[in-house]
Amino acid sequence: MRRVITYGTFDLLHYGHINLLKRAKALGDYLIVALSTDEFNSLMKGKHTYFSYEQRKQLLEAIRYVDLVIPEESWEQKRSDMHEYHVDTFAIGDDWEGKFDFLKEEGVNVVYLPRTPEISTTQIKESLHKK
């Protein structure tokens, strides 16, 4: 069982997120998503989400590529998550290129996947404001 983990807010779920999750799952057999909690988003990421953690979790759990959703509550939890969840590969969009290379010290592969162009939660919000 090759276990992959990824992290994110996944607000206003869109096809860029789905593309990421599909490719992350293809790196193994089991995909864990560490989903940013409402507190982590507002206090540490400066993000105000449209959907709550529970709503974002429900959406992710409905995706065929996702096997488990856990909370992301801090920047520091990644190292211990790799061991607690027996992770083989950490994957995330290449907007984070290089930022998580330190996880190789925990014995996991680190993969940065190209972002899907032309779509983002921010862009969706902005275009809706204009209508």
Catalytic residues: 45, 47
Tell me how far CA of residue 2 lies from CA of 12, 35, 87, 108, 128, in angstroms: 29, 20, 8, 11, 40
Contact between 59 and ligand C2G by CB under 6 A: the answer reads no
Region near ligand C2G per CB under 6 A, out of 3-11, 61-69, 82-90, 103-111? 3-11
**Judged by CB under 6 A, which of 61, 95, 97, 101 binds ligand C2G?**
95
Distances (CA, A) of 18 to 42, 60, 74, 102: 23, 9, 24, 26
Q: Which residues bind ligand C2G (CB under 6 A)?
A: 7-10, 16-17, 20, 36, 72, 92-93, 95, 115-116, 119-120
